[in-house]
Each structure stands twice: as C-alpha cells, then as structure tokens.
Amino acid sequence: MFKFLKFVAVLILLSSPLKAEEKLTFEKEHQWNFYSGTFDFSDDGARATLFGIQHQNENLFRESFFGTISPISGFMMTADNATYAYTGVQAQYKIGGLNIIPSFTPGLYGEGDGKDLGHIIEFKSELQLSIDLLKNTELGFSYNHLSNASLGDKNPGANSYMFNFLKRF
C-alpha cells in the first residue's frame, strides 16, 4: 500500500503545470527505448525471449527530491505470447556519460502461453544502466522484476534482463 501511495504522490507532482521559463528550456523530444532480452531467466520452465518498446516524453520531466523524474509507457511481449502493457514513472541520474535509471510501472499482464503470474495487475520495478553513444542515442542493460504484490492467490514473480537501444526523436 505504501508503494501505491508513493506512486500517486509522484503522479501528482508530475501533473503540476509548467512555469513559462521552464517551457523555454525544453526541446520537443520523445525518447523511444527498444529492448530485447530474457523473460523470467531464473525459472527454467518459464524462460522466454522478450521484445518491447517504451516511450518517454522528455517535455514532461520534473526535478524533484527523487531526482529527474518523468512518466513512461510501454509494451512487451514474450515468445510465449505473454504480454505486459504498462505506464509509470522513472528517475534519471547522470554521472558523466553513464545514466542510472530506476523505474516503477504498474500494468496489465496477459499470460498467453507463458507463465501464470497470478493476477492481471502486475508491478514492474526496473533498474537500467545506459551509456551515451551519440548526442541522441544510448545503449544500455536493464533488469526488472514483475510481481502482483500478493493481489492474487499466488505471486511467483518474474525476473528479466534486457539489452536496450534508446533513441531521441
């Protein structure tokens, strides 16, 4: 429940209107993250290849006590036709050319022919590390955990890793 309240508080912070001087500092950019990896690599019986795409509108980022935060939305699908559509928030911390990006995204999961995670509502916690390749391009690696926070009768969770290609347009 505490995670949910933190999530709502962050969404309220993100929905505050921009000041005129803040609007002038933004470039109209959208970042797309194309990723592929292994879904539930820690479970031999449920392991599957995954592919996904994620969008971040950089015009909506905010500076906060959490760091630079922004909303994200995405979709992933496994080779077993399991799907996960999500929207949430991510923070970004830059150390030179290295980007450390934690995120939290609630979403809807469909098991297809893949792993039964116990509920349609799942929560994804992720940590991504990426490096700046060019001005508008990053290459990264991420790890995430999907869990239903015991909303269902069972909560097996799934651990996944991905290689990420991020591009701003």
Instruction: Note the pLDDT tens digit of each residue in 20-34.
Output: 444 444 455 799 999
pLDDT above 70 for 150? yes
Phi and psi at 91, nearest 5°, equal -110, 155
Residue 103, CA distances (Å) to 19, 56, 96, 134, 169 in order:
26, 12, 20, 23, 21
Assign 68 a pLDDT band (cuts: 50, 70, 90): confident
pLDDT above 90 for 48? yes
Q: How many CA atoms lie within 13 A of 90 on its CB side?
A: 27
- pTM, rounded to two decimals: 0.80
* Contact between 123 and 84 (Cβ < 8 Å): no
Say which residues have a Cβ less than 8 Å from residue 113's Cβ, sequence separation at least 6. Answer: 80, 81, 82
Amino acid at 94: K
Q: Kindly state the tokens that stand for 72.
A: 């994200």
Say which residues have a Cβ less than 8 Å from residue 115's Cβ, sequence separation at least 6. Answer: 39, 40, 43, 46, 80, 82, 156, 158
Q: What would the pLDDT profile of 81-132 be if each residue is shown by its tens digit?
A: 999 999 999 999 999 999 999 999 999 999 999 999 999 999 999 999 999 9
Assign 3 a pLDDT band (cuts: 50, 70, 90): low
Q: Where are the domains of the chain?
A: 66-132+144-169
